[in-house]
Structure 1
Amino acid sequence: MTDSHDHTAHGLHAHAAEGAPANPVLAEIWRGDILECSHRGAVAVCNAAGELVAAWGHVERVHLPRSACKMIQALPLVDSGAADAAGLDDRHLALACASHGGAEIHTRLVADWLAGIGLDAGALGCGVMAPDDAEMRKALRAQGAEPTPLHHMCSGKHTGFLTLARHLGADRGEPDYLDPASPVQQGVRDALAEVSDEEPQGPAIDGCSAPNFGLTLKGMATAMARFADPAARLTGRRAEAASRLAAAMAAHPLLIGYKASSATLLTEASAGATATKSGAEGGFVAILPEKGLGVAVKVDDGGDRGAAAAMAAVLARLGLLDRESPAYRATAEAPIRNFRGTLCGHVCPGPALM
């Protein structure tokens, strides 16, 4: 593995230092024998001490992790005692970390969870989105029904926020728990700072209206390593919470995503050895308990399939994913078919990761 990273100053709008080399190509899209698209980006692999074990590209640029940091956003839910007070089990914790597909297994659990804390879908501040799950879309059409906030991929995370708000006595209405100054979001910010060893930047506002704080890719990989090996740097309730959340994600891959999602496929393929999570605009992270490492990927152009291919390639290099497995072939070597089903091309890892 090569180590190619910079040490420049950062802000949310930071770019490469003038004259610095471009990030390496992490994934390629081929159509026939012609290279159609290249996805450049960076990868950081860190241990719980915050040391870079391997790196490709500019891993100290600040980025927005988006949904890739949901397990960090869920830390205060668990270490505050709110999860136990609400009677939550591993399924709920996995859903709090999820970008789910809006299938019945997701919406039913969210609805029951909300009812358990005396709320309903109207309390969710995530907005409404159509479900990714094809069966749920078909069922809604058959019923002549519209999607609700329950179908939003972030409804589990928001239900976790609401559970924490109620536990803290901060439930003064739906908008409050999304306010960056609220006890809920200040708890999230403090958790981000502790697990990353960085001062979170921002916030910016995510697609689900929650605050999203900027970290370097190295900081994100460090955070994931501390979920992989909590006892190395975290203590007390926070260490226990990180361990519980990582285990819940690994145990319930269908709850953290959906059948065809890359995070679900890669987590399933590891048989509990890893927990992976994607984020919007080309972000992807992995928690590797067996190795005590964390991985963070960011594709410069925001291409999600490029990020998935890069993550699969890194996991294969680390010996955690078989290159002959269906999950690897569906992500790192994904076929491209046209509307007639004709095989037209394929995705593959870029030269830097081969």
Structure 2
Amino acid sequence: MRLRGRVETAADVPLVVLTRGGLVEGVHRGRVAVCDASGAVLEAAGDPDAPVCLRSSAKPFQAMPLVLSGAADAFGLGEEELAVACASHNGERAHLEAVRSILRKAGLPEEALQSGAHPPLHAPAAEELARSGERPRALHGNCSGKHAGMLAVCAHQGWDTGSYREPAHPVQRWILEIVARVCGVDRESIPAPRDGCGVPTFAVPLRGLAAGFARLATGRELPDRMAAAARRLREAMRARPFMVAGTGRFDTDLMQKTPLVAKSGAEAVFAAGSPEGWGLAVKISDGASRAVRPAAVAALGRLGVAVPGERGPSEVRNLHGEPVGRLIPLV
């Protein structure tokens, strides 16, 4: 993508429209890819070969060293702790307790977290923190579970914990190798800019993300040890979906109501994998998170996955709670 002169963007298509008073008020364009574990494209809208920054949809892949290194077993981590290591959590009490538990078992202080501070995503939790007079700490940030998992790997391997965010650190190099293998991309071709929390994120073709989630969901096309790590993390996410996101969040709702494993990311990225052997990846081009749910639910419906409670277009309500518009999927 060139940023001088004109901006070149990936070929996309209209995915969701916002209507108000019977008029089309906004259009969200984007791309969709469905792949099997071999990487074959089964369905696509827009260009499935154009790259997308994985953002937090990569977290299950970034958590794999926690299992592969033996740290999860050495520290006695359970399903809640493994799930929160894959999470973009709300900052609710259960999430904070699980992150603290990872750090405590690894013999690390909360201050070791370098994930950046922001108020909890869950409004009641943010209000409770504000009433207490406390300022948000890295613990409250949605990526603290991921960072706690990385730190636990460092503690187990004897690696430096002060520089774990750096691309040249052994834990980040390992994660890059895993992302390349799981998504079926040559590691040298993967750009790795910084994510919002400070560690590298990764840009791969949208089809690579879809194939990666097909492999996460089934273990197919992965080496035995990696397939076993994928199974353990997948089972933790599915057994403890609340820990992956939290109250009112799409990832949690979807894993509670369907057999899928799912993970969203910033800038309107979403991925899900089915035990039937396919993976779905969605990217909304303008980064509008409100379009993710209707676009993903529509795509899942075409794949034969009905999401209970999701019927037709999503309502848009005003500040009085009155319905004033709808988000309508187009493909």
The interval holding the TM-score normalised by the smaller chain is over 0.9
Residues 17-166 of structure 1: matches in 2 within 5 Å? 22-166=11-155
Query: Is 1:315 paired with 2:315?
Result: no
Q: Map residues 150-299 of structure 1 onto 2, 5 A cutoff.
A: 150-170=139-159, 172-174=160-162, 176-200=163-187, 201-230=190-219, 232-270=220-258, 273-289=259-275, 291-299=276-284
Pick one of 322, 325, 331 that aligns with 1:342.
322
For the residue of structure 2 that corresponds to 1:202, the secondary structure is coil
CA contact (8 A) 2:87 2:245 kept: yes
The alignment yields a C-alpha RMSD, in angstroms, of 1.8
Q: Distance in 2 between matches of 1:16 and 1:106?
A: 37
Identity %: 39
1:15 and 1:61 in contact (8 A); partners too = no
Q: How far apart are the structure 2 equivalents of 1:288 and 1:116?
A: 33
1:121 and 1:148 in contact (8 A); partners too: no
Gaps of 5+ in 1: 1-9
Give CA deviations for 1:84-128 in whole Å, capped at 9, x if unaligned.
111111111111110000000100111122111111221101110
Q: Is the 8 A contact 2:66 2:149 kept in 1?
A: yes
In the TM superposition, residue 249 of structure 1 has moved relative to its aligned partner by 1.3
Amino acid of the structure 2 residue aligned with 1:144:
G
* 1:300-331 residue CA offsets vs partner (Å, 9 max, x unmatched): 11111212211111111111124xx22x24xx
- Report if the CA contact (8 A) 1:105-1:255 is conserved: yes
Query: SS of the residue aligned with 1:212?
Result: coil
- Any idea what SS the aligned residue of 1:41 has? strand
> Counterpart of 1:300 in structure 2: which amino acid?
S
The answer to whether the Cα contact below 8 Å between 2:113 and 2:144 also exists between their aligned partners in 1 is yes
Give deviations 1:2-53, integer Å, cap 9, x for gaps. Answer: xxxxxxxx89999458xxxx42211111112011111111111111111111
Cα separation, 1, equivalents of 2:73 and 2:278: 28
Match of 1:5 in 2: none
Distance 2:193 2:318 in 1: 37
TM-score, normalised by the number of residues in structure 1: 0.88
TM-score scaled by length of structure 2:
0.94
The answer to whether the 8 A contact 1:246-1:287 is kept is no
Give the 3 Å change call, closer, same or farther, for CA 225–262 of structure 1 in structure 2: same
Q: Contact 1:224/1:286 (CA < 8 Å) preserved in 2?
A: yes
Partner of 1:7: none
Question: Which has the larger displacement, 135-144 or 335-344?
Answer: 135-144
Residues in 2 aligned to 1:11 and 1:59: alpha-carbon distance in whole angstroms: 19
- For this pair of structures, how many residues does the alignment match? 327
SS in 1 for 2:201: strand
CA apart distance, 1:210? 0.9
Contact 1:75 1:242 in 2 (8 A): yes
